[in-house]
């Protein structure tokens, strides 16, 4: 083709051949350089830029709808280790890694091939700078639209992904189970505290009842002892009183008997039973 259209080899319309040869030269320069080839491939008219919507149909046919979309857009990735959509049997770690990669997707796709302003036709440096600025602005705009398109693909894919729904339901289930387990543990703890308090209260009441019974028994024993001592005391007082009475209260004058009796009663009230016994014994020895 080059030889056929080369101006020196042309045998037909020279002007047409020159234009064809110029196109062939530009195409060669464009496709032989890596950056030029990428610029050309970036605007491939046969590439499908479609973004599947979030619909019930796409949710039910998730892998069939989004699998090819992910696969064909993976060619734009700077990183060659691109995770594919996977299957319903994937673990959550793989799914998380997949979305982490695609949400941080870095694309080499660029749009210099679509520059509308031809800087080579500029008459001066200032005009070339101005045309470069316009082209750069347009490239940035198209790149931003492309990144928005890629982000929308990932968002819609995430929204339709049945694995995410299953993982979320499982996470909610485990969260609910953990909550219920925590509530049950708290209930059991409170029940244990209640039983402990009841046991402590039972023991306290038993101890109080035991102390009350012991106090009652002690009081009854003391009462019986007092009654016994009072009975003995009355007997001893009577013995002393009889002894003194038999000796006419130790009075030589009957006029002093009443006073002696009063003094005797006062003395008897102040003496303990041991003292009364000693007094009685002493009197008996005197007699």
pLDDT digits (tens, 9 = 90+) for 227-240: 888 887 777 777 77
DSSP 161: -
Question: 87 and 67 in contact (C-beta within 8 Å)?
Answer: no
Average pLDDT over residues 202-218: 94
For 10, 229, 249, the CA distances from 267, given in Å and listed in that order, are 168, 18, 13
**Tokens 């605007």 sit at which residue?**
43
Backbone torsions φ then ψ of 88, nearest 5 degrees: -70, -15
**Phi, psi values for residue 107, rounded to 5°:** -105, 140
Query: Mean pLDDT over residues 199-205, rounded?
Result: 95
pLDDT digits (tens, 9 = 90+) for 72-92: 999 999 998 999 999 999 999
The string of DSSP letters for 45-82 reads TTS--------HHHHHTHHHHHHHHHHHHGGGBSSS--
Give the torsion sign (CA, 21, 23, 26, 31).
Answer: negative
Summarised one tens digit per residue, pLDDT across range 18-46 is 555 455 555 555 455 566 666 766 678 88
Rounded CA gap, 59 and 159, in Å?
8
């Amino acid at each position: 083709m080059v030889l056929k259209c080369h101006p020196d080899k042309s045998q037909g319309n020279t002007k047409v051949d020159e234009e064809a040869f110029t196109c062939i030269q530009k195409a060669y320069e464009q496709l032989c350089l890596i950056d030029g080839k990428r610029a050309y491939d970036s605007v491939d008219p046969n590439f499908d830029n479609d973004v599947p919507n979030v619909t019930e149909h796409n949710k039910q046919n998730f892998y069939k709808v989004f699998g090819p979309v992910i696969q064909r857009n993976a060619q734009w990735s700077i990183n060659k280790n691109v995770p594919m959509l996977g299957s319903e049997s994937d673990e959550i770690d793989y799914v998380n890694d997949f979305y982490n990669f695609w949400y941080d997707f870095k694309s080499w796709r660029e749009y210099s091939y679509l520059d509308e302003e031809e800087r080579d036709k500029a008459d001066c440096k200032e005009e070339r700078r101005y045309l470069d600025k316009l082209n750069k602005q347009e490239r940035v705009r198209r790149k931003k639209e492309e990144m928005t398109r890629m982000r929308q693909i990932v968002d819609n894919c995430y929204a339709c992904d049945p694995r995410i729904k299953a993982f979320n339901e499982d996470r909610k289930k485990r969260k609910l189970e953990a909550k219920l387990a925590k509530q049950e543990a708290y209930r059991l703890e409170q029940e244990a505290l209640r039983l402990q308090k009841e046991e402590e209260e039972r023991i306290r009441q038993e101890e109080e009842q035991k102390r009350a019974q012991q106090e009652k028994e002690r009081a009854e024993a003391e009462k019986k002892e007092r009654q016994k001592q009072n009975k003995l005391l009355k007997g001893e007082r009577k013995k002393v009183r009889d002894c003194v009475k038999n000796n006419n209260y130790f009075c030589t004058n009957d006029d002093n008997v009443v006073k002696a009796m009063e003094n005797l009663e006062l003395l008897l009230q102040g003496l303990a039973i041991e003292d009364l016994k000693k007094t009685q014994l002493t009197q008996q020895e005197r007699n």
